[in-house]
Amino acid sequence: MERLLPNHAGSNLIEFRGRHRDGGCAEGARCFSIQNGDKPGTISIAGSTGVEQAAGLHHYLRRFCGAHLGWEATGGHQLHSVPRGSLPPVDDAGVVVNLPFERTVYMNPETFSYSTAFWDYERWEKEIE
């Protein structure tokens, strides 16, 4: 969070939870949910694992803040639309996304031979985040 959204790191505007108290995700399912936080201008993202929580953050930034996260070659991170000080609310019912896949695949297998082989530490650091 500190490098991705430095203006929001440590601000308590985004809370991550294992599961939301109101449910929405079936037990054992791979899912995330997004709800308005307890205080105005805050949000709460829950997910069955950290991977689903990260997917929930990406979904929120893209759908509710108009932001984009991507490789530098495709425009890079475009986070200028994320407001400072408070965050846009989601619908009162919140958002629940059940992922239909048993596993999450990261990158096309060929990427490791035609792209990542030429990355330096700084580039790997961005990818790890």
Q: Where residue 88 sits, what CATH number does that domain have?
A: 3.30.379.10
Q: Is residue 122, in this structure, part of any structural domain at all? A: no
Q: Is residue 8, in this structure, part of any structural domain at all? A: no
Taking the C-alpha atoms of residue 16 and residue 47, their distance in angstroms, rounded to an integer, is 8
Q: What are 82-106's pLDDT values in tens digits?
A: 777 788 899 988 899 988 888 777 7
Residue 81's pLDDT band (cuts 50, 70, 90): confident
The neighbour count for residue 115, using CB atoms within 10 Å, is: 15
Q: Does the global pTM surpass 0.85? A: no
**Could you tell me the sign of the dihedral formed by the alpha carbons of 98, 101, 104, 105, in that order?**
negative
| pLDDT tops 80 at residue 64 | yes
Domain that holds residue 33: 14-101
Mean pLDDT computed over 36-52: 88
Average model confidence (pLDDT) across the chain: 80
Question: Comparing C-alpha atoms, which of 48, 51, 64, 52 is closest to residue 13?
Answer: 64
Residue 119's pLDDT band (cuts 50, 70, 90): confident
For residue 23, give both structure tokens. Answer: 């449910």
* pLDDT score for 51: 87
Determine phi and psi for 128, rounding to 5 degrees.
-65, -35
Q: Is residue 83, in this structure, part of any structural domain at all? A: yes
* pLDDT score for 59: 92
Q: Is residue 2, in this structure, part of any structural domain at all? A: no
Q: Is residue 20, in this structure, part of any structural domain at all? A: yes
| pLDDT tops 70 at residue 10 | no
Q: Which 3 state secondary structure label does DSSP give 54?
A: helix
